[in-house]
Chains A and B, each alone.
Chain A
Amino acid sequence: MHLATKVLLASLPLGLLLAPAATVGDTTGDFHTGATLICSDCHVMHASQQHGYNPDGSGFFLTPDTTPHEYLLRAEVNDLCLSCHDQSSVAPDVLDANGGKYPGIVRNAGFLNRDGVIGQPATGHTLDTLDTAPGGTWKPEDDNGTGHGLNCVNCHNQHGYAGGVNTYRNMKMDPGGTGFAYAQVTYAIGTNNLALDVFETAANSYDFNDINYNEPDTNASTYGKWCGGCHTNFYGAPGGTEVGGVATGSAYEEFHRHPVAGVDIGALGGGHSSLAVFAGHTNHVKVMSASGVWDGSAADITPSCMSCHKSHGNGNAFGLIWMSGTGTITENGDTDATQKEALCGQCHVQGS
């Protein structure tokens, strides 16, 4: 073992004890963690089950496949997750049309498609795809093994995190094999905490209107960094190699990739972004705010990955959010938008 590795491993327990979650809040993922982490939801000890877990044999259980699966799973990962998370009344739906537990909501994360099964492959994250992540070198087979494409647990920690470690949606802290605690996306439920990355207004809410994004560090985006775990070149500080940018006064311009942190909307004015344009819309894309005010009435709002893309995807290419600012909000943006440029027009003055 390399000395550096030994040192790293030796330091891990201490690092765990000092994990930032201990100071920023004790909220773990809304589900599949703590008391809602039900082993038998996903695992079956002997690849055999004829009845449920209630004393009379009743109760919900997923019939395990007749062929045993590794890790004692009841089915392969995506099939297993989707058995509850696709067209099932027991859990939020994440694949294609929303027929799940909350059918009336606009899913903040949008929806996935599945390679060769349902949906269009260019519309967001594609389950089972073997493709390399755009902007990076990570590919699903790196984590899942040869022939195994993108799956749910590449992004979500299926067991949550023990010890009260706070991660929004059980998002993994090491996406794309980035290593221990590369990005911990923290969140608050019910009452906002500006020191945390995400504010969910009510527990177990997946609705667009209930999710907002704080900006604890005005020079960074933990959420953006998390996406950068796989999409390596798409996240970085202004002026850095990933997004570029030239310092102009207290702001930046001349980026070579769109910034996803450290740039307030309207900071430079002119032909750049406009706070007034953003504030003038009725429907707003998601932005980060250090003060917890997201409608453009405060000058501290910053775009990040979630401003333009649904994390799961939607009906548009790249999971882009076509949001004109008026009409009814949908998972694709809003009903008045007719082209992707509506999204750019959320912040930019050109063409307006």
Chain B
Amino acid sequence: MSLLLATLAVPLLLAPPQEPVRPARPRAGLGGGFPAAGPRAGGWHHGDNLVCSDCHTTHNSLHGQPMRYDGVAEPADNLLRMGSPTELCLYCHDGTDPAAPDVLEPVSYVADPAGGWFTGGAGVPNDHGHDLRPASPLQAPGSSESFSLECSSCHDVHGNSNYRNLLFDPPGSADNGNVVVVVDELVSANGSNPAQVYVPANLKDRSGMGEFCNSCHDNFHGKTAGEEGGASRPWLRHPNEETIFGKDHADYSHWAGPITNRVRVETPTDDIVPSSDDRVTCLSCHKAHGSGRVDSLIYADGLRRLSTCQQCHNQ
């Protein structure tokens, strides 16, 4: 018996953490070259693209010199090559490395990065999006909890099969590590093509982003009376994952018309936008990182927040 238990324990110890299974979903009318559904890496920092030495140094020493990017001789926690996870991420993602998508304002590699950008770096407060490493924890709107966001608060630094390596169990989540965000992309990252990968036109949002955001912004998503409200009554908060088509207070014919700068929507069952399966999602109105606009809002015409509302509502 002891031998058997000991034998069982070895593979358990060696087994990688089990990831949630990406759900199967209907895919009618697929086209345009978007990959079929199925597990895949988060894009970078995963699988063959997870290069330990990009971020870690075993002894912080190479030929007698520190290996930390900031040149500090003192080793950092977790063998990191910068003083904190966020500083480490920003070392490459601050626009100085053309191979890595820039997440700090000003962004120059594309005009409209899908995730937007952070205004200021770590520790710089802003009203334009998420605060990175604030001086003290900040209460998430829609939640009673406070957080000190690092890049790693949302992204799995070692990668996973979620879109953009988003965590399966983001902070505040009561989802038991099963938050699956499904976004398909036409062009995958190859380490040198951020301008082709990290742009809205490359993406087909399928599902899960609302649930991910809701992990911290508890009251903003869900169909209970304390959240968006029930479907049988007028909404209390703007709904998420609701189709534009067939809704009393949306104008699908307008949405289906010749709109410029169309905002992102989820298109769970086909690759066609606009079409009747299009669903509003958090990223229809907000950039995930920030936008240069208050509350990370997207101004579809570049000038007015109203223009974003009007894409669906046409009032």
Contact = CB atoms under 8 A, between A and B. Distances in A.
B238 A72 contact: yes
A258 to B, nearest CB: 38
Contacts of A68: 229, 236-237
Contact of A48 (B127, B141, B293): B141
Interface in A141-193: 159-160, 162
B231 interface: no
A167 B176 CA distance: 54
Contacts of B86: none
B217 interface: yes
A30 to B, nearest CB: 16
B107 interface: no
Interface stretch (A53-61, A88-96, A128-136, A280-288): A53-61
B233 A70 contact: yes
B64 interface: no
Given A37-B306, A38-B306, A55-B127, A46 B235 contact: no
B236 A70 contact: yes
Interface string B237-258: 1100000000001000000000
A39 B127 contact: no
Given A38-B306, A46-B220, A159-B315, A69 B127 contact: no
Given A46-B142, A47-B219, A70-B229, A52 B236 contact: no
Contacts of B238: 45-46, 72
A162 B141 contact: no
A48 B314 contact: no
Contacts of A70: 229, 233-236
Contacts of A50: 141
B291 to A, nearest CB: 10
Contacts of A38: 306
A45 B237 contact: yes
A70 B233 CA distance: 8
Interface residues on B, range: 20 to 34
B73 interface: no
Contacts of A54: 294
Contacts of B128: 55
A214 to B, nearest CB: 28
Interface string A39-80: 110000111101111111100000000001111100000000
Given A46-B219, A69-B236, A51 B306 contact: no
Interface residues on A, range: 20 to 34
B142 A48 contact: yes
B187 interface: no
A72 B309 CA distance: 13
Interface in B242-293: 249, 285, 292-293
A154 B65 CA distance: 76
B305 interface: yes
B294 A71 contact: no
A37 B315 CA distance: 8
Contacts of A53: 294-295, 297, 305
Contacts of A47: 219, 236-237
B235 A71 contact: yes
B141 A51 contact: no
A72 B234 CA distance: 8
A231 to B, nearest CB: 28
A55 B294 contact: yes
Contact of A45 (B249, B285, B293): B285
Nearest to A48: B141
Interface of B: 127-128, 141-142, 217, 219-220, 229, 233-238, 249, 285, 292-295, 297, 305-306, 309, 313-315
Given A47-B236, A71-B235, 11 more contacts: A37-B306, A40-B305, A46-B217, A46-B238, A53-B294, A55-B127, A69-B236, A70-B234, A72-B237, A160-B315, A162-B314
17 contacts: A45-B285, A46-B220, A47-B219, A47-B236, A47-B237, A48-B219, A51-B294, A53-B294, A53-B295, A55-B127, A55-B293, A70-B234, A70-B235, A70-B236, A71-B234, A72-B237, A160-B315
